[in-house]
Structure 1
Amino acid sequence: MTRPMNVSITSMIRTAQAVTREGRGILAADESSPTMAKRLAAVRVDSTEETRRSYREILLSTPGLEEFVGGVILFDETIRQQTRDGKPFARLLSDRGIVPGIKVDLGIRPLAGSPDEVVTEGLDRLRERLVEYDAMGARFAKWRAVLRIGDGRPTTACIEANAHALARYAALCQEVGLTPIVEPEVLMDGAHDLDECARVTEAVLHCVYDQLARQHVILEATLLKPNIVLPGTTCRTPASDEEIADATLTTLRRTVPAAVPGILFLSGGQSDQEATARLDQINRRGHEPWELSYSFGRALQAPVLRAWAGDNSHRTAAQAALLHRARLNAAARAGAWLPEMED
């Protein structure tokens, strides 16, 4: 390591610990405007800046949320928005003991030379953007890479390109003083079985941690946001939650250094209850040497959107739906979730 263990590094380590402290996970509220438009359209709500602001205020101001959520990932638009009474969303979170974070990648584009694969963009002028987000109150950042299984994918070139981008992003974050969340997502789309997903996820994580080392990233001041190892959505060989948990933990133990303080699983295309049940099974098997938690977007927000549906008179019901899902995931984080708790 070429960097000293200075106050900035200590602060980033504390941020990682705060986000993953006991019983808590991350609410991913970092949907881009086009993605948010699709979510709102599903409940017949027009996507305007005000409807997006109003919906996100419902999320971020939910009473009691700080008991179960240690951090929230915001989108560029959202970190610039305020509550109805003029308080910036980042400050609203900080005042409640929730760590504000920011999504900094600019989305996926076709990988040159391999048009069936993608690479994440956003490294240009990232240093300047990180400085601005730090000044706006963000304390961590997130960058997502996307890898697909099937027909010879992902290629070594795709894995290496995305791992290199993740590592450069993480190094820039630590230069500024933001804790980087590294998110290499192996998609669950496809007909691959559980073993194939485990093989690909292992290869991806090996490459990611090799690149992080090459870029002198201090692992104690990072977090990992990986996919749960799952069979593909059209796979004809189902896997139980127990088998999924075993495959996921085996893959992580083969690839993720013990220096990483926390692993926060993404929900991907899983339903609310599937994501919670699998998080629970993973934690029932023990989490040493990492904290094993969640960074869920749709798996936390879907019931909130249905309850709200654009009507602010449903605000209380929508917040109750979010708190209920967060409480269930906190139970899963402790390996104490039971199906009857869903009701």
Structure 2
Amino acid sequence: MSNISLTKYSKSESLENREFSVPKILDNLIKFSIDQNSTKIEIKIERNGLSLIEIRNNGIGMSPKDLEDSIKGHSNILSDKNIFLDISKISKLEIISKERDKTRGSLLKITNDKIMPIKQCYADIGTKVSLKDFFYNNHKERVNPENFIEEDIKKIIFNYAVTFPKIDFFVSLNKKIILEAPIEDELSKDKIISRIGNIFNKKIAKSLIKEELETEEIGIQVYYSNTTELYKKNNNQFIIVNNRPENFREIKTIFNDLYTKSFEVDRYPYFFVFLSYDENTVEKNKVKKILKSLLLRSFAKQIYKIIETQDNKKNSINSAINFHENFQIIESKNGIIIKNIKNNKKVEISISSIQNLFK
């Protein structure tokens, strides 16, 4: 392939009608790496993606023809056939790829709207995609902060890392490592909880309550933190539809409304909602109704446990044991209370004092 201008290739729709924020680009590139049967994904981002987005995987790799097709917009290996074609028009794109059964890799480079000839090169098995100078030719979008929101970048990455515990993720953002998540142990009782513990922290993982439901059309798996792990902001909440992050605002609203009202709290839990259903045939309203029913049952069960625990504590503290004729022993928070029934006088003996008696 000799030097060719990208203007030769048409797009599925105009660039103006597509979203090309850094989180959206990352979404597509991580999905591509997963579709390549990768077991390891490394991501490097600088200046929130403005100067560099780099993602490499150890997947099956791409042939020279695959690379050529990927920027013509009719690739058979990309879920979004136009993604490489379109992002090459707003950044300086470089793809290095090597198939597992080949000794050499291939290099595709596109700079200033020009496609360089595909060359052979030394490469590791898999694919590395590098985007530099994002929106170098569009000042308006380059200075638009909405395209480079750090929290949204992290959320996309964490979403995929939680969803795919059998993939090793390593991520550097603005020269700081934000994620090191090796493949979860096969012997782990619940790989999702184990991965959540590795991404966030073990305390959150231990607080999680799990619920599952499966119908003929819809599969639901929910993890949410109990009332000991609540937060002022609701940004630690993840919704995954068919193994892909989804901004399902209605579900987020339903979950938080039910949670805060059920447990009478003014803070928010961590939650992870995994949904699987045919988006072409199953209406979102049906998904929302089934999820709401599952949450109501789960919350009711947890409230009952809380009440039962509180009652047991009250009973254990307030229950009195009669001994001799005029005395009772009552458990207190600090030890025991001995009460004279006749004159109602009380003496409290601390735990430490009781322990000293047995030394």
Question: Which structure has more helix as a fraction of its residues?
Answer: 1
The structure whose residues are more often strand, as a share, is: 2
Q: TM-score, normalised by structure 2?
A: 0.27
Computing the radius of gyration from Cα coordinates, the structure with the larger value is: 2
